[in-house]
Chain A
Amino acid sequence: NAGVTQTPKFRVLKTGQSMTLLCAQDMNHEYMYWYRQDPGMGLRLIHYSVGEGTTAKGEVPDGYNVSRLKKQNFLLGLESAAPSQTSVYFCASSSRQGHEKLFFGSGTQLSVL
């Protein structure tokens, strides 16, 4: 009964390094999302996907790229990490548009030095 699984849970990067965060869901959900949580800012949508092979920009997409090659996986990439990307990243999925609740993963704590 895994739900939404994020890897890794913690990561420390140096400025300019790259990395990929992996999100996997086993609920056969169509929609997947990446959010970041920062103090005083709530949860802000980075990118999202409405199905395999599709991606779209959210509120704060700059500096990130995503891919959804398989329905169950949604990858978030940082090509050249910056200290402003220090945050907690949450992946979420839902079964349909709009009026369906999001299921969240447990988060990835990322620090960029």
Chain B
Amino acid sequence: DQQVKQNSPSLSVQEGRISILNCDYTNSMFDYFLWYKKYPAEGPTFLISISSIKDKNEDGRFTVFLNKSAKHLSLHIVPSQPGDSAVYFCAASPPGTYKYIFGTGTRLKVLA
């Protein structure tokens, strides 16, 4: 059973608008979350993270929101740029483990 879910396989957004990528998780014990971006033929690269003690973290155009009661996190990209077109993965780390559990990914396409 998928513990980290990204229910939208793809998303298209106009350049300059906001992109919102969503991620749901099932285990309330997860205490750290990460977002990765992946271009074709490359490895995933780290984008932004958030600890469960926070509900928001910002880094430039990227903001991650965490709603623990809903077991939901989202990544906001504002403004979206064509170079943001990639597959985005969310990942969660259970406490006291060495593992990162990834979602299935959302392919973002930013239209110029």
- Residues of A participating in the B interface, judged by any CB pair closer than 8 Å: 4, 31, 33, 35, 40-45, 48, 50, 56, 58-59, 90, 92, 97-99, 101-107
Contact = CB atoms under 8 A, between A and B. Distances in A.
Interface stretch (B12-20, B68-76, B78-86, B93-101): B93-101
Contacts of B89: 42-43
Interface residues of B, number: 29
A101 B42 contact: no
Nearest to A105: B43
Nearest to B95: A98
Given A98-B93, A99-B51, A101-B49, A43 B44 contact: yes
Contacts of B44: 43, 90, 102, 104
A106 B44 CA distance: 8
Given A98-B32, A105-B43, A45 B101 contact: yes
B98 A90 contact: no
Contact of B43 (A97, A98, A106): A106
Interface of B: 4, 6, 9, 31-32, 34, 36, 41-46, 49, 51, 89, 91, 93, 95-105
25 contacts: A4-B43, A31-B98, A33-B100, A35-B102, A40-B9, A40-B104, A42-B4, A43-B91, A44-B102, A45-B99, A48-B99, A58-B99, A59-B101, A92-B43, A97-B97, A98-B95, A98-B96, A102-B34, A102-B91, A103-B46, A104-B36, A104-B43, A106-B42, A107-B41, A107-B43
B102 A43 contact: yes
Contacts of B6: 42
B45 A42 contact: no
Contacts of A90: 43-44
Nearest to A40: B104
A17 B13 CA distance: 45
